[in-house]
Structure 1
Amino acid sequence: MKKYGSGLKTRLFHKPELPGRIIVALKALILFVIIIQLRFLAAPLFNLPYLPFLHFLDVLPPLFYTVTSVILIFSCLLILLNIGNYLTLSLISGLIILFYILSSKPMFGNSTTFIASLLVLIGLYKDQSTLFRIQISLLYLGAAINKIFTSDWWNGMYFDFFLRDVLDVGVYQSWISAENMTVAKGLGIMTIFTEFLLGIIVLIPKRTRLTILLGLIFHGGMLVITSGQLSVRFLYIMSAAFLLISNVEIKPIHLAHRSKLLSNFLYYMDLSDSLVLTESKERAFTITINEVKYTRWNALGKLISSSQFLLSFYFLFILSYMVAPILANKLILPLF
């Protein structure tokens, strides 16, 4: 006889078979939420709710927001600790974040709303990338259409003001005179055209590689143009989104080493859950891929060149780049 609640336990703790790229993207987004968007984990401090036209939010007690915040924290931690049903936990996390965004204007942002939407869609994942493609298309087409009807994007005023007065990009100010709007105009028109193009071709599965390449060049180029001050968050988020529609194949790697400390470190640094630890009494570092065994330096080389290592390093490196200034401002600068 089936016990009451057993279905819920199964959904929460049964880990479904998911492609490695989906798991990497999920964990990358969760890391962004708990490290960069930490305010979502402290929602009760923001005096929710906010939006006056959602009257049902006004009757919810503060305890409701505290409880949902605790649920969000535990959902994120379970995902990062490789515990539980990723689909259910992702769906719960995405819905809670969307609820907070609806409840509080200070929490709204294009990037955070997009992250929440992706988490919900991961929770609904059924071996198809269609929903991810539609969400990415809506993001780019919405951004392009919004810019089309804003004259500052066409006459160069937006980029000139942004690069000169907001970001204070020295290279731009040194090379481009205040009267010359040609470069700023070109950047504005290029941005509109690129976003519109990405919004179209992402819907064409046969153009997936072109979409990802163009998207990474676009966001990476913006990062270079702004001297690393803009688009790093969008580069990170969109990289996770592009991974969801990609055909990247991540093969399981069986790792054996006498040191449990090293093995566990590599295991938890792997965002794809494809690193399998095996018992070994040998001193030599050993990995096995497709039943082929590699030892010592060959094993290290194969591990470093593997898809799971490169993807994990990529996201963790960009995350570290974003965290470093925050830590410097909060911890180091106050000491001087």
Structure 2
Amino acid sequence: MVTKKKNGGFHMNNVSTFITRPFQFEGTKLHPNVLLMCKLLVILMTAHHMFFKIADPFIPFIPALDWFNEYPNVFKYSLRAIYASSVFALLFNIKVRTAALVTGSVVILSIIASKPLFFNHTFICGCALFLAGLTNDKEPPYLLIFQLSLVYFGASINKFLEPDWWSGAFMDTWLGTARENPVYLYVSELLPELVFAKLLSYIAMITEFAIAVLILFKKTRNLTLWFIIIFHTTLFTLTSFRFGHFIESLAIVLLAFLNIPKEQLRISYKQQSLHPLKQFFTFLDRDKKQTWSDLPSENSHWLRLETKDKTLYNHEALKDIFLYTPNFFMLLIAIDMAMYIVLYNHRTTLFVFNMIFIWSVIFYFLPIHWKKKKKS
């Protein structure tokens, strides 16, 4: 906290430390990756005007909430004040579990109070924040695993019970008529009527049900997470539609499954060629978890990462350094938002840049060894 000097001033080091708290993730009652998820979710929702969407009850899911309309603006401004306070506390690492619980509760309550505010992506964010507040830094975030499974289970069952999904009518109406998607229209003309629509419908239903089941098992969880990323990115590529901020919300929730080591990251590098890389990561490493040292000049590797469980070299090491640096993801969302603002009136250009950016990140981080090892 900021402390006063005897002359009435403030210690500048304490001020600077407080200002950098939004970029610090260690030392709280939440896992660093779960805290990262929470911070990114509130940034995303606030950027999408969540604060201003909170209003007095309007066609509430619970009719009793209409009582607040007898006192105009009390409900609205009370929830807005609580939302702003809890978001501030979460971003600045003040009672983070309580802040996540309160923020999630406000989002859920505002949705319950006004049916027009109900969107899957907003509700998922509220639930994720609420469940994150119920976790701790001692156990894996099981509640978030169950939430993700429930989301896909509900989505698949909802589709299984709809005849229009089995007949392909929904997919054809959505992509063919509503969206006029050129890829869908082109492929559909090459095949018998509704065949392509049925194929896409069945793939969506089966995929979502498989995800709901496989995410529950530790052995298949990592593969399932990658499957989720590729599935939704492919869907975005095909439709150029983000479903509100569902895709961003989902990507952020997946960060809760990162396993950031608790101990220091020991990094060795070729100083002459990689000094800018060290400066970049040192700038992002607000928690001071990385210790950098020089690699001997005769060493054949240019980068080495040592943790308690493993030692990695070169690009494999670089990938994990990125993943274990929470502010790398803060930078990614900042880049995405900046692209959206700058290219808002140039949607085609924005879509192309998004595709290049997202697929480049995916292909780089895929756990696949693209280069074949040379025979010794």
- Which TM-score applies when normalising by structure 2? 0.65
**Structure-1 separation of matches of 2:193 and 2:115:** 38
Q: CA deviation at 1:108?
A: 0.6
CA separation in 2, counterparts of 1:163 and 1:143?
18
SS at 1:292's partner residue? strand
Higher relative contact order (CA 8 A, sep 6+): 1
The answer on 1:168 being equivalent to 2:180 is yes
Residue number among 62, 76, 86 corresponding to 1:75 in the alignment = 86
Q: CA deviation at 1:158?
A: 1.6
Of 121, 137, 141, 2:153 maps to 141
The residue that corresponds to 2:12 in the other structure is none
1:156 & 1:315 partners in 2: Cα distance?
39
Could you say which residue in structure 1 is the equivalent of 2:64?
A: 55
Corresponding residue of 1:307: 322
- Alignment: residue pair count: 290
Q: 1:221 to 1:249 in 2, by over 3 A?
A: farther
In the alignment, the residues of structure 2 paired with residue 184 and residue 316 of structure 1 have an alpha-carbon distance, to the nearest angstrom, of 38
Query: What CA deviation, in whole Å up to 9, does each residue of 1:63-121 have, x standing for no partner?
Result: 232022022123223433x3412111111100011110010011111111111011001
1:115 to 125, 148, 152: 125
RMSD: 3.7
Percent identical among aligned pairs is 22
Residue of structure 1 equivalent to 2:355: none
Compute the displacement of 1:18 (Å). 3.1
Q: Does 1:18 align with 2:30?
A: yes
Give the Å deviation of 1:49: 4.2
C-alpha deviations, 1:225-263, integer Å up to 9, x for none?
11x224583332222222223434476679xxxxxxxxx
Matched-pair contact (CA < 8 Å) for 2:103–2:126:
yes
In 2: Cα distance, 1:232 partner to 1:321 partner: 15
**Counterpart amino acid of residue 187 in structure 1:** L
Q: Measured at CA, do residues 318 and 173 of structure 1 come closer, stay the same or move farther in structure 2, by a change above 3 Å?
A: farther
Alignment partner of 1:152 is 2:164: yes
Amino acid at match of 2:100: S
Q: Deviation at 1:166?
A: 2.0
Contact conserved, 1:253 with 1:276, CA < 8 A, in 2? no
- After superposition, give the CA deviation of every residue in 1:133-176 in whole Å (9 maximum; x if it has no partner): 11111111111000001122122222222222222222322343
Distance 1:150 1:326, change over 3 A: farther
Q: 1:196 is matched with which residue: 189, 202, 209?
A: 209
Query: Does the 8 Å CA contact 2:56/2:75 hold for their aligned counterparts?
Result: no
Which residue, 248, 269, 285 being the options, matches 1:236?
248
1:180 Cα deviation after fit: 3.3
Report the residue type matching 1:307 in the other structure. Answer: F
Cα deviation, 1:274-314, whole Å, max 9, x if unaligned, reads 5247xxxxxxxxxx72x43369x989x98897235776445
**2:113 matches 1:98:** no
Indicate how the Cα distance of structure 1 residues 212 and 250 shifts in structure 2: closer, same or farther if over 3 A, else same: farther
Distance 2:251 2:93 in 1: 24
Q: Match for 1:86 among 77, 88, 96?
A: 96
Moved more, 206-215 or 188-197: 206-215
Q: How many angstroms apart in 1 are the aligned matches of 2:238 and 2:263?
A: 36
Q: Secondary structure at 2:189's aligned position in 1?
A: coil
CA distance in 2, matches of 1:174, 1:331: 24
Gaps of 5+ in 2: 1-26, 267-279, 296-301, 305-313, 348-376
Matches of 1:160 and 1:253, distance apart in 2? 51
Using the size of structure 1 for normalisation, the TM-score is: 0.72
Secondary structure in structure 1 of the residue aligned to 2:201: helix
Question: Corresponding residue for 1:184?
Answer: 197
For 1:86, the aligned partner's letter is V
Cα separation, 2, equivalents of 1:316 and 1:55: 43
